[in-house]
């Protein structure tokens, strides 16, 4: 049974998500459709990449992933389909593909969108539903679209690293206002080299030890731990870390807006290492 996942910034207030599922089932009634999220940030690709990557890696080989983010940055006359690590990703040509993959996949195809009746979301997803059906029927990926060499490329934010420090960015804030930073456990330990550390996230606030989980500290206390995706996360047990300390996801646009209105936004986290 083919698996198709949906990750979008559409929300679920209207009929669009349901209509997309109808298109997929009409194209192939055997499709097993899985919602990842419909609350992706339209303008924060780092947020989208974090959620998509850490969901997609748990799906079996051959899964189809539809990612709809910032679809109307320009009129979408085609959609991209790429093969990456044994799975298929379909998305607009706006940079989200390379942000998620971290590289430009070897096989990237442009699938034409029928714009006879306009450039709506359903025109784009309808084209993808037909393309997925062909793949399910055994067509080689090279036969479902036209190879495309020039695609828009954007890449994930990477922390800046010095001998005794790491400067990193906030890439995700969850519904409980826990804060995820773009440092993996492997990267942290490689730079730490067994040394003590200070995680500094405002001018005066810091954390100096790692916890195993939220229950490792008393209610109301701050903690830092590596979450199930192996990313560094800072939080308050039974509290709202982001809201209490004014932390927000990193985007260049929000930094510019904050500067224009003389507001202080904390979007980065610095880690210092000692002996």
Per residue in 200-244, pLDDT (tens digit) is: 998 889 999 999 999 999 999 999 999 999 999 999 999 999 999
121-136 vs 16-27: helix crossing angle, rounded to 10? 30
Give the CA dihedral 199, 202, 204, 205, nearest 10 degrees: -50
21 pLDDT more than 90: yes
* Structure tokens, 65: 């992933």
Per residue in 55-100, pLDDT (tens digit) is: 999 999 999 999 999 999 887 899 999 999 999 999 999 999 999 9
119 pLDDT more than 90: no
**CATH fold for the domain made of 3-147:** Rossmann fold (3.40.50)
Decide: helix, strand or coil at residue 186: helix
pTM above 0.75, yes or no: yes
38 pLDDT more than 60: yes
CATH of domain 160-273: 2.40.30.90
CB 23, CB 32: distance < 8 Å:
no
pLDDT for res 74: 82
pLDDT for res 1: 83
3-147 and 160-273: identical CATH topology: no
Among 225, 206, 229, smallest CA distance to 216 is for 225
Residue 257 or residue 192, greater confidence: 192
Q: Where are the domains of the chain?
A: 3-147, 160-273
């Amino acid at each position: 049974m083919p698996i198709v996942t949906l990750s979008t910034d559409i929300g679920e207030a209207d009929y669009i998500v349901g209509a997309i599922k109808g298109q997929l089932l009409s194209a192939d009634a055997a499709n097993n459709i899985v919602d990842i999220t419909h609350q992706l940030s339209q303008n924060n690709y780092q947020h989208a990449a974090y959620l998509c990557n850490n969901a997609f890696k748990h799906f079996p080989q051959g899964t189809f992933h539809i990612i709809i983010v910032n679809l109307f940055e320009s009129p979408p006359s085609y959609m991209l389909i790429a093969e990456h690590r044994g799975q298929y990703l379909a998305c607009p040509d706006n940079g989200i593909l390379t942000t998620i993959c971290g590289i430009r996949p070897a096989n990237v195809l442009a699938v034409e969108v029928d714009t006879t009746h306009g450039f709506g979301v359903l025109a784009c997803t309808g084209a993808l539903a037909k393309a997925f059906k062909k793949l399910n029927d055994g067509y080689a990926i090279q036969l479902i679209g036209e190879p495309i060499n020039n695609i828009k490329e954007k890449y994930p934010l990477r922390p800046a690293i010095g001998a005794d420090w790491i400067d990193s960015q906030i890439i995700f804030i969850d519904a409980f206002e826990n804060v995820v930073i773009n440092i993996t456990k492997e990267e942290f330990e490689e730079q730490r080299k067994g040394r003590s550390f200070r995680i500094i996230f405002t001018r005066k606030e810091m954390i100096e030890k790692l916890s195993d989980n939220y229950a490792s500290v008393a209610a109301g206390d701050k903690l830092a731990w590596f979450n199930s995706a192996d990313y560094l996360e800072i939080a308050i047990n039974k509290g709202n870390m982001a809201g209490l300390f004014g932390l927000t996801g990193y985007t260049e646009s929000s930094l510019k807006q904050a500067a224009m209105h003389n507001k202080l936004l904390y979007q980065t986290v610095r880690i210092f290492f000692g002996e």
